[in-house]
């Protein structure tokens, strides 16, 4: 039987790191086994679900490259199917109408708590065939009263639940709308899901869902409940730790491949390796190797991995990402070859693509001002003389390449008996506005002859050329 996994987020908020890791594990398992990955939007919470959240989920999945084979399916478009299955359960005696009022249930709860009992529905309408006038009923699943449910969880091992501890779950509200736990069961059945991989906060829902599947004559899927992701202080991951929209990581210049690499290591390992390409993950990942202990999110580790991916990725593959980050700063170019040269020149000194874009802005617009402290330090009469000589020779340079530029600048410095930096820094200030850039020969090559000479002349004019 072909492996079929599903990622089923609720669009009541943004797709965050925890959700993306769940999606990744589902996607990897399906890809590893040549199966199908299904995307399902569980939008039955009509009050809290939003179109913006749905779009953010879709955009986040697209950015991460976690392509789905089927879907997205929307639960709100399947209400007729849920109603049909509820009818089947009523007809087979596996569900019943409960006419208990809110007031009665509140009193039941209060009495149970007063006796020190666990609050739970007592099944008072379970075997009745009459009805209460003027009370719109809910529909409850008739959970078995005896025996146990054993969840053979791939991550946690066998987890046993006593049926006597499970009350009769509401599967349709009094207005007829189906409830989450019931919709999940019908969806997993109809979509032929073989492996349910989700957060371990859903583990307690599993026995009821299994009982409903069995009542419908469908074998339960394999379950794997993933451990939580904690913040560095050991508490539940929050916005201050990094539980933000996954698209914020795109905004901050992280590579999708690096984020996925980091997430796969939160709970899964393969020896001592840290760096994994997407192809590595698909080839090596197994849900059975996931650790059941909670993992700690560390943005510093993510940043380190991001730089590793920037360094190891083909430069051409980073060009679209650099272009996107530059566009957010109002800078644009269609010159792929130039952007590739910038990637090669800048990636050793950048931890994120956003940082690379910020540090490369001078390639696309001349400096509007110069670092005053650096000017006082580096623009001396001696430096201006060096700069003037270098400019004359650069204007006559036939081969505008980094090696030729380096030879020329180094020759001018040697001819005056000074260190290369005495000339390189004034040139860097003139073309960049500051003293931080790739090697000056590479910088001038990327800028091009006309732009480099234009900026050098402008700086000379301002500083008083000799």
Going by the DSSP 8-state scheme, the letter that residue 129 receives in this structure is: -
Max Cα–Cα distance, the chain, nearest Å: 107
Question: In angstroms, rounded to a whole number, what is the distance separating the alpha carbons of residues 274 and 40?
Answer: 31
Question: In angstroms, rounded to a whole number, what is the distance separating the alpha carbons of residues 111 and 118?
Answer: 10
Using pLDDT thresholds of 50, 70 and 90, give the confidence band for residue 465.
very low
Task: Collect all residues with Cβ–Cβ distance below 8 Å to 426 and sequence separation of at least 6.
Answer: 378, 379, 383, 384, 386, 387, 459
pTM above 0.85, yes or no: yes
Using pLDDT thresholds of 50, 70 and 90, give the confidence band for residue 149.
very high
Closest CA to 181 of 235, 125, 139: 139
pLDDT of residue 253 exceeding 70, the answer is yes
Structural contact between residues 163 and 120, judged by C-beta atoms closer than 8 angstroms: no
Question: In angstroms, rounded to a whole number, what is the distance separating the alpha carbons of residues 330 and 88?
Answer: 59
Task: Collect all residues with Cβ–Cβ distance below 8 Å to 270 and sequence separation of at least 6.
Answer: 276, 284, 289
Catalytic option among 83, 236, 239, 377: 239
Task: Collect all residues with Cβ–Cβ distance below 8 Å to 87 and sequence separation of at least 6.
Answer: none
DSSP-derived pairing of the beta strands 95-98 and 138-141: antiparallel
List b or e across 5-26, with b for residues whose CB sees 16 or more CB atoms inside 10 angstroms.
Answer: bbbbbbbebbbbbbbbbbbbbb
Question: In angstroms, rounded to a whole number, what is the distance separating the alpha carbons of residues 456 and 352?
Answer: 30
The predicted-structure confidence for 21-56, as pLDDT tens digits, reads as follows: 999 999 999 999 999 999 999 998 888 888 999 999
Whether 78-226 and 4-76+228-303 are alike in CATH topology: the answer is yes
Given the structure tokens 């007063």, which residue do they identify?
114
Going by the DSSP 8-state scheme, the letter that residue 178 receives in this structure is: B
Nearest-5° Cα angle at 180, 34 to 55: 65
Domain spans of the chain, in order of start: 4-76+228-303, 78-226, 314-363, 372-463
Helix (H, G, I), strand (E, B) or coil at 223: strand
Structural contact between residues 182 and 212, judged by C-beta atoms closer than 8 angstroms: yes
- What percent of the chain is modeled with pLDDT above 70? 98
DSSP readout, 352-400? SHHHHHHHTGGGTS--SS--HHHHHHH--HHHHHHHHHHHHHHHT-S--
Domain 4-76+228-303 has CATH 3.30.70.3040: no
The predicted-structure confidence for 336-354, as pLDDT tens digits, reads as follows: 999 999 999 999 999 999 9
Retrieve residue 67's tokens.
Answer: 């392509």
Task: Select from 1.10.3980.10, 1.10.3720.10, 3.40.50.620, 3.40.50.10470 the CATH code of 78-226.
Answer: 3.40.50.620
Task: Select from 1.10.3470, 1.10.10, 3.30.70, 1.10.8 the CATH code of 314-363.
Answer: 1.10.8
Mean pLDDT, residues 380-404 taken together: 95
Is residue 422 among the annotated active site residues?
no
CA quadruple 98, 103, 109, 114: dihedral, nearest 10:
-150
Question: In angstroms, rounded to a whole number, what is the distance separating the alpha carbons of residues 340 and 350?
Answer: 15
Structural contact between residues 28 and 278, judged by C-beta atoms closer than 8 angstroms: no
Retrieve residue 463's tokens.
Answer: 């500083």
Tally of residues, the chain:
466
- What percent of the chain is modeled with pLDDT above 90? 91
pLDDT of residue 16 exceeding 80, the answer is yes
Given the structure tokens 């760096």, which residue do they identify?
275
pLDDT of residue 308 exceeding 80, the answer is yes
The predicted-structure confidence for 87-140, as pLDDT tens digits, reads as follows: 999 999 999 999 999 999 999 999 999 999 999 999 999 999 999 989 999 999
Mean per-residue pLDDT of the chain: 94
What is the separation, in whole angstroms, between the first and last Cα of the chain? 81
Question: In angstroms, rounded to a whole number, what is the distance separating the alpha carbons of residues 341 and 319?
Answer: 9
Domain 372-463 has CATH 3.10.129.10: no
Question: In angstroms, rounded to a whole number, what is the distance separating the alpha carbons of residues 287 and 36?
Answer: 16
Distances (CA, A) of 20 to 44, 65, 191, 236, 305: 21, 11, 21, 16, 17
The predicted-structure confidence for 193-230, as pLDDT tens digits, reads as follows: 999 999 999 999 999 999 999 999 999 999 999 999 98
Q: What is the pLDDT of residue 280?
A: 96
Distances (CA, A) of 416 to 304, 387, 404, 420: 42, 11, 19, 10
Q: Is the C-alpha dihedral spanning 342, 347, 349, 350 positive or negative?
A: positive
């Amino acid at each position: 039987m072909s492996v079929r996994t599903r990622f089923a987020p609720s669009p009541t908020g943004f797709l965050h790191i925890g959700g993306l890791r769940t999606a990744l594990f589902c996607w990897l398992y399906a890809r590893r086994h040549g199966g199908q990955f299904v995307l399902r939007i569980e939008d039955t919470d009509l009050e809290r679900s939003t179109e913006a959240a749905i779009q953010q989920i879709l955009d986040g999945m697209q950015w991460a490259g976690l392509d789905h084979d089927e879907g997205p399916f929307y639960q709100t478009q399947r209400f007729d199917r849920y109603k049909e299955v509820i009818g089947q359960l009523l007809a087979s005696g596996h569900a019943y109408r409960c006419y208990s009022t809110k007031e009665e249930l509140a009193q039941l709860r209060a009495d149970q708590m007063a006796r020190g009992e666990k609050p739970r529905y007592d099944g008072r309408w379970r075997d009745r065939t009459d009805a209460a006038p003027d009370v719109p009923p809910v529909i409850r699943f008739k959970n078995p009263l005896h025996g146990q449910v054993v969840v053979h969880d791939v991550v946690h091992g066998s987890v046993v639940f006593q049926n006597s501890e499970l009350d009769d779950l509401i599967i349709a509200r009094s207005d007829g709308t189906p409830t989450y736990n019931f919709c999940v069961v019908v969806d997993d059945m109809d979509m032929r899901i073989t492996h349910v991989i989700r957060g371990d906060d859903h583990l307690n829902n599993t026995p009821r869902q299994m009982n409903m599947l069995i009542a419908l004559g469908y074998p339960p899927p394999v379950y794997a409940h993933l451990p939580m992701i904690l913040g560095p202080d050991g508490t539940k991951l929050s916005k201050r730790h990094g539980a933000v929209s996954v698209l914020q990581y795109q905004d901050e210049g992280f590579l999708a491949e690096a984020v996925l690499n980091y997430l796969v290591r939160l709970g899964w390992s393969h020896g001592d390796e840290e760096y994994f390409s997407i192809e590595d993950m698909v080839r090596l990942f197994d849900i059975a190797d996931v650790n059941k202990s909670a993992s700690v999110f560390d943005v510093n580790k993510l940043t380190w991995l991001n730089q590793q991916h920037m360094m190891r990725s083909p430069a051409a593959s980073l060009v679209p990402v650099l272009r996107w980050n530059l566009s957010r700063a109002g800078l644009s170019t269609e010159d792929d070859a130039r952007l590739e040269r910038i990637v090669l020149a800048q990636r050793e000194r950048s931890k994120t693509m956003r940082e690379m874009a910020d540090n490369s802005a001078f390639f696309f617009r001349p400096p509007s001002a110069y670092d005053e402290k650096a000017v006082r330090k580096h623009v001396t009469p001696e430096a201006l003389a060096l700069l003037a000589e270098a400019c004359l020779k650069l204007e006559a340079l036939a081969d505008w390449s980094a090696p030729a530029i380096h030879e020329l600048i180094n020759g001018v410095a040697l001819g005056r008996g000074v260190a290369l930096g005495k000339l390189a820094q004034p040139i860097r200030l003139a073309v960049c506005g500051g003293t931080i850039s790739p090697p000056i020969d590479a910088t001038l090559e990327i800028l091009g002859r006309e732009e480099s000479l234009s900026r050098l002349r402008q700086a000379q004019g301002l500083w008083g050329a000799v």
